[in-house]
């Protein structure tokens, strides 16, 4: 089987601000940068991220948030340092329970309001009972 790479295409209202943000967030420069288009080709995690200039951005939509899962808390700390060095506003959550897992994470928001988390899962399942038939009301809201 060939290697898979995820592709995410985002509409953006300002290509320059978005390229600056994603350069800081991802730590790489775009492999292609035109007046209305930019492409980041990330090897770890394998991601083809494109930014497309759009006249109309529908804030919110069906997208909740985006994220990159890393291998360790040290990787989260490295992202925090990179974001701080770039002057990005961030929100840090250490030892937070989210989606029935214990995680360390940092959040940043791109110029068009898309929220990104860089996170590590420290404990994979924190629920006292692993019953998939539990009532929906018992689900802890997070990542919102």
Q: Is the pLDDT of residue 89 over 60?
A: yes
Q: What is the mean pLDDT of residues 92-116?
A: 92
The model's pTM is 0.76
pLDDT for 139 equals 41
pLDDT category at 56 given cuts 50, 70, 90 is confident
pLDDT category at 137 given cuts 50, 70, 90 is very low
% of the chain with per-residue pLDDT over 90: 58
% of the chain with per-residue pLDDT over 70: 83
Angle between helices 15-26 and 73-85 (to 10 degrees): 140
Which residues are 52's β-sheet partners? 11, 37
The dihedral through the CA atoms of 84, 86, 90, 94 has a sign that is negative
pLDDT for 61 equals 67
pLDDT for 57 equals 79
Question: Cα angle vertex 105, ends 71, 103, to 5°?
Answer: 70
Q: What is the mean pLDDT of residues 80-86?
A: 96
pLDDT for 29 equals 96
Q: Is the pLDDT of residue 94 over 70?
A: yes
In whole angstroms, give the CA distance from residue 25 to residue 17.
12
């Amino acid at each position: 089987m060939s290697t898979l790479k995820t592709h995410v295409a985002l509409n953006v209202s300002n290509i320059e601000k978005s390229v600056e943000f994603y350069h800081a967030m991802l730590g790489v420069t775009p492999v292609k940068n035109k007046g209305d288009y930019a492409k980041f080709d990330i090897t770890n995690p394998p991601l083809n991220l494109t930014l497309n200039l759009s006249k109309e951005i529908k804030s919110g939509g069906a997208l909740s948030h985006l994220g990159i899962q890393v291998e360790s808390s040290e990787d989260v700390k490295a992202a925090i340092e990179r974001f701080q060095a770039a002057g990005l506003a961030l929100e840090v959550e250490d030892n937070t329970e989210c989606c029935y897992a214990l995680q360390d994470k940092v959040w940043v928001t791109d110029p068009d309001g898309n929220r990104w988390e860089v996170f590590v899962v420290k404990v994979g399942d924190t629920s006292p009972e692993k019953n998939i038939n539990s009532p929906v009301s018992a689900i802890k809201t997070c990542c919102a």
